[in-house]
Every structure is written in C-alpha cells, then in structure tokens.
Amino acid sequence: MTLLILAAVIAATDRGVLVAKSGSVEMFDRTAVTRMWSGDGLQTPARIATSKDQAVIIDPLASQIRMIDLASGRGTTLPTGETPIDGLFLNGRFYLLERDARALERIGTDGTRASIALAADPAFVRQAGGRIYVYSRTPGVIQEITTTPFQIRRIVNVAPFASDLEVDAKNAYLVYPRGGKIGIVSLTTMQSGGTFDVGAVPIDATFASSGTALTARTLAVADPSAKRVWMVQGAESFAHAVARGFLRGLIGLGLYSGGASQCPTGVDRVIVQGSRSYAYDSSSGTLYRFSKSKSTIVSKNIAPEGFAVSPGAVYVWDDAVRRLQRFPIND
C-alpha cells in the first residue's frame, strides 16, 4: 500500500473542519465530534480551496470540482478543463488552475466562467497584492495575471523544473530540488533576483516568519535527502541588508541564522501556523511538529492531504477507524 492514497482530504475553515471523501463531503465543528452537515462529493478528491464562506473540492483525476456553501453544505459539481490541480479565491471569485488544459479559469459565484491560456505545464498558482502568479514548470515561466481585466499582465522567464513556488508582496521564491537552490524573482520588476543554495534536495517551502528590523523574512524549506527543514532568509533590499547587518554587528549576531531542524525521516512538506511548525514525510505518512532543537511525531500513516493545521489544533483523518481526530495544541 502507498501512503499517498488520499482516503480523505481535509481543510480547516472558518466554519469548521471540512472532510472530503470519495463521493461525500462532511463538515465537523472544531471539536471534530459533531458533524454539522454532509452532502455529495466527488469521486477522487485531492485538494480543497477555501474562502470565508465557500469551499471548492478539486478532483484532478476526473477533472471536476464541487463548489460548496460552507454554511449549508449545498453544492454544485462542475466539469473543468483537464486536470485541475489547485485554486484560490480572490475578490469573491474562484480561480482554478487546469494543468493539462494549460488554462486558468475564473468561476464566479453565479457560475459565469472565463478562461485564459497559460504556458505549458502550469504547476503552481499563488496570489499577492491582488494579482495571481502562475509558474509553468517545463518552460520556466512566471505569468502575472490581473483579475480586472482578467488577463496576463507580465511574464518573466526563470529556470524551469521548480518543485514549489511561494510569493509574498515583493518576491517570488522557487524551489529547485535538482540544483539544491532557491530562486528569487522580484515581483516589482519581474526580473530574476538570483539564487542561493539550500541543502541537498529542497522540495517544498513556506514562509516561516515575516521580517523584522533584525531579521529578513524566513523561509522553511523541507529537504528529504538531508532529513531536515532548513530555515533560510529570503530576499531583502541592499539598503535593508546593510542596515540590518550593521545592527546585528552591533549586537554581536551573525548575519544569518542558518538554522535547521532534524527529523528522523526525510520530510518533504512543511507547514507553518503562527509560531508552530510542522513537517510531513510522504513516504511514511508521518507528520512531525518541529522546533530548532527537536521534532516530535504528531501522527503516523496519514495521507498528504489527510490533515489540516489550524490555529487551535491539528486535524487528522484516521482511515482505520474512519473518523476525524483532533490533536489540540499544547504550546
């Protein structure tokens, strides 16, 4: 058996915990005990995108989505372009990335749809500053898309074959497992800002902290080869760096923390929720909580989308007993 099988896909929403299984969807309250509603789902759900009031369950294998009203559970199933893999809400509309159709589709709450063509192999969709960014993996292209009008605004050629994309207000960060690097792209100029080395095989990244006067923005990078999560600092302006370096010099710190957290097995996904950090090993289905000094197991034998981290708890779908489990946070 493979632990990558998605017995259930979970998302923590403002209204409770959404559990999508083959053919059904259920909403639980935050205690994970009371089922608030249930309804029809999709055959092979793989991902959930949420807003405050809505959720979209994505089935890339069947090329379908189900849009659900979180309050009532009422939903509509829609066919999509080939292989929808991810989506996001922005200004009340849903944007769906259809990888094998090479398209980004906009779906309004009234069901109106519009689509724009993308470069080959669009693999990641993110948003920042009211704009959408799509990275097309095989050609190595980031396309910046405005929502009004719905069109491609700018394009930048970058290195191909990244395994993850993260964006903040200023920069996009691309993770390159083969080269062991993080690539930076300035969203202001839409130009490459260079690369820096991270570990052996970095595969996934997320923002771990926002920058302060003493620290640049920190990225947590999962490296299954090194069995570590690397904490690295992101891009900063030259002036900011000089000023911060100067300050840190005054108080006796090195420029970068260079921190890393060791896990017993090779972790390939990293999640940060507030001050808490989690790493996940797809090969063993193990979810760890980690800090700079140690890591502890939260749960084992879970699928990559079979858990959700919320401010108050970690929710895990236990397929053996077919119920939602809640692991409260003990800081």
Partner 1 sequence: MRIAVFLFAILAQTRIASDFEIQQMEQQVARSKDFLSQLSGHLNLGDLRMMRNETAVARSEYAKALEIATNERLAARRASEMTRYATATSYAALAEAKLGNAEDTFALSEEAIRYTSDSAKSWNLYANAMTALGKPAKAASASRNAVAIASHENDKLDLAIYQYALASSLLELKQTPEAEKLLVDVITSLRSESFAPLRREVARTESFEIYSTARGEQSAYISLLNRSQLRLARLYEDRGDIARARQQYANVLADRSDDPTALAAMAHLSTSADERERYYAAAFDANPFSLPLIRDYQKYLSAGAGSSAGTAPAGGPVPTSGSQLRTGLQQMQRGELIAARQTVDQLLQKFPNNDTLQLLAREIEQRRGGGSDLRVLIAAFNNNTLTAEQRAELDRKTFTSDVIFDHGPPFETGRIDDVPFRFSEPTTFNGNFVSGVRLRLTYRVLGASQLNGADALLLEPVRLENPR
Q: Which residues form the interface with partner 1 (CB under 8 A)?
A: 2, 4-6, 44, 46, 60-61, 82-83, 99-100, 102, 120-121, 123, 137-139, 160-161, 163, 177-178, 200-201, 203, 224-227, 265-266, 268, 282-283
Q: Which of 167, 118, 113, 115 is nearest to 138 (CA)?
A: 118
List the one residue out of 128, 79, 130 whose CA is nearest residue 105. 79
In angstroms, what is the minimal distance from the CB of 160 to partner 1? 7
Q: What is the DSSP string of 233-299?
A: E----HHHHHHHHHHHHHHT--S----EEE-SS---EEEEETTEEEEEETTTTEEEEE-SS-EEEEE
Distance in Å, CB of 10 to partner 1, minimum:
16
Residue (38 or 225) nearer to partner 1, CB: 225
Altogether, the residues listed in the chain come to a count of: 331
Nearer to partner 1, 33 or 61 (CB): 61
**Alpha-carbon distance values, 107 to 66, 84, 104, 114, 132 (Å):** 12, 13, 10, 7, 14
CA distances for 51 relative to 57, 66, 108, 262, 263, angstroms: 12, 14, 13, 34, 33
CB of 117 to partner 1, least distance (A): 14
- Quote the least distance from Cβ 266 to partner 1, whole Å: 6
The residue among 32 and 42 lying less far from partner 1, judged by its C-beta, is 42
Judged by beta carbon, residue 260 or residue 313, the one nearer partner 1 is 260
C-beta closer to partner 1: residue 92 or 139 = 139
Q: Collect all residues with Cβ–Cβ distance below 8 Å to 41 and sequence separation of at least 6.
A: 20, 21, 22, 23, 24, 25, 57, 66
Q: Which tokens in the block code for residue 274? A: 């507030």
Could you tell me the smallest distance in angstroms from the CB atom of residue 82 to partner 1? 4
Backbone angles phi, psi at 279, to 5 degrees: -135, 150
| Nearer residue to partner 1 within complex by CB, 162 or 235 | 162
Residue identified by tokens 């959404």 is 18
DSSP state of 310: -
Minimum CB separation of residue 5 from partner 1 in Å reads 6
CB of 265 to partner 1, least distance (A): 8
Minimum distance of partner 1 from residue 79's CB (angstroms):
13
- Closer residue to partner 1 (CB): 29 or 82: 82
For 206, how many CA atoms within 13 A lie in the half-sphere containing its CB?
A: 15
Q: Tell me, what DSSP letter sits at residue 329?
A: -
Q: Which is nearer to partner 1, 121 or 318 (CB)?
A: 121
